[in-house]
Amino acid sequence: QQQVKQSPQSLIVQKGGISIINCAYENTAFDYFPWYQQFPGKGPALLIAIRPDVSEKKEGRFTISFNKSAKQFSLHIMDSQPGDSATYFCAANQAGTALIFGKGTTLSVSS
């Protein structure tokens, strides 16, 4: 049973555009929703995370939007740059437990 569903599988965006990746979760006990960025040959790196008590969190060009009633959250990358080209994973968990990951989205930002 896939507890975190991520879409799209791949995304191509022009430089300067907005990249949007969506995730949906099933387990209402989850209370932490991070996004990880992974470059080829590297480990996933924590990008930004949100708790369910807020609906939005922004860090620089990266924003998480969270809809608790719909059990959905999304990552928005503003002014996308070629250096943002990577694979992005959403995840969810409860305190002290392992992360449940989405299947990933490969983002390509064309210059």
Partner 1 sequence: DAGVIQSPRHEVTEMGQEVTLRCKPISGHNSLFWYRQTMMRGLELLIYFNNNVPIDDSGMPEDRFSAKMPNASFSTLKIQPSEPRDSAVYFCASSPDGSYEQYFGPGTRLTVT
Footprint on this chain of partner 1 (rule: CB under 8 A): 32, 34, 36, 41-46, 49, 89, 93, 95-104
Q: Which is nearer to partner 1, 19 or 104 (CB)?
A: 104
Q: Which is nearer to partner 1, 9 or 111 (CB)?
A: 9
Nearest distance, CB of residue 44 and partner 1, angstroms? 5
Residue in this structure with the two tokens 């209370």, named with its chain if needed: 31
Beta carbons of 21 and 74 less than 8 angstroms apart: yes
Q: Which is nearer to partner 1, 41 or 60 (CB)?
A: 41
Pairwise CA distance, residues 51 & 64, whole Å: 10
Residue in this structure with the two tokens 């939005």, named with its chain if needed: 56
Write the CA distances from 69 to 25, 28, 52, 74, 94, integer angstroms: 11, 10, 10, 14, 18
Nearest distance, CB of residue 81 and partner 1, angstroms? 23
Nearest distance, CB of residue 16 and partner 1, angstroms? 30
